[in-house]
Amino acid sequence: MNAIEVTDFRKEYGSTVAANGLSFSLPRGTVGALIGPNGAGKTTTIRALCGIIRPTSGALQVAGFDVDQEPLQVKQRVAYVPDDPPLFETLTVWEHMQFIASAYQVRDFVPQAEELLAQLHLEGKRDALASELSRGMRQKVAIACAYLHNPEVLFFDEPLTGLDPAAIRLLKQTMSHRASQGATVLVSSHLLALVEDICKHLIILSRGQCLFSGSIEQAREQYATTGSLEEMFFQITEGATSDE
């Protein structure tokens, strides 16, 4: 079963076509990499999948629900970590956890929240206001909030930038672990070498179009390559961006 199903997704911002008839899917229990050059349409696609922006046309399904027709069911089941997470500046780290637990009705959230803060080395910042946190710490708070309500589908937009090596390793481990437990993770990143070992599925966008969607093995077969994800990326996007 696919946790994410995108069919002919189009998004226009005025005269800019950010997504031009994208179709792809991501199987449940998979970590998928959403990659592509700057301006390819990755953030637009993720935001549409979370129900934050509406498509100009096309159909988007997440966790078995139509994003346009059943937005609440979708929002209850997803978590979204944007590249610059907007926190509540006047809430403390712990109050963020309380807020998420309340919004998503997570019962007995305290042990899990404490564990997440410990894993992310945020225990010392438990009572700090969001406005007092470093960029990496803000990202960690957003990650802790994302995990707290045990979402079925997680969207991460450039999650690794700003994190220290220990946090990068932890985030990758937790993504793989969540996927092994049945969750689905779509991660957008330019740091191909860092996501290579956890992503089983590849979605490559360029200029609002989907150049490839499938497993890493299928990509290797289709493009007859044994190279790294980075080499594959250049091979697949070659030509598609050459006249930019």
Ligand X SMILES: Nc1ncnc2c1ncn2[C@@H]1O[C@H](COP(=O)(O)OP(=O)(O)OP(=O)(O)O)[C@@H](O)[C@H]1O
- Residue 189 CB, nearest distance to ligand X (Å)? 9
206 binding ligand X? (CB under 6 A) = no
181 binding ligand X? (CB under 6 A) = no
16 binding ligand X? (CB under 6 A) = yes
HEC letters along 177-234: HHHHCCCEEEEECCCHHHHCCCCCEEEEEECCEEEEEEEHHHHHHHCCCCCCHHHHHH
88 binding ligand X? (CB under 6 A) = no
User: In angstroms, rounded to a whole number, what is the distance separating the alpha carbons of residues 57 and 83?
Assistant: 25
- Name which of 16 and 57 has its Cβ closer to ligand X: 16
Q: Give the x/- contact pattern for ligand X in 34-63, rule: CB under 6 A.
A: --x-xxxxxxx-------------------
- Residue 52 CB, nearest distance to ligand X (Å)? 11
Mark the segment that binds ligand X (CB under 6 A) among 22-30, 32-40, 68-76, 223-231: 32-40
Tokens read off for 77: 């089941």
Coil, strand, or helix at residue 233?
Answer: helix
- Name which of 96 and 207 has its Cβ closer to ligand X: 207
Q: Taking Cα atoms as reference points, which of 75, 71, 3 lies closest to residue 32?
A: 3
Which residue carries 């993720």 as its tokens? 46
- Which residues lie near ligand X (CB under 6 A)? 13, 16, 18, 36, 38-44
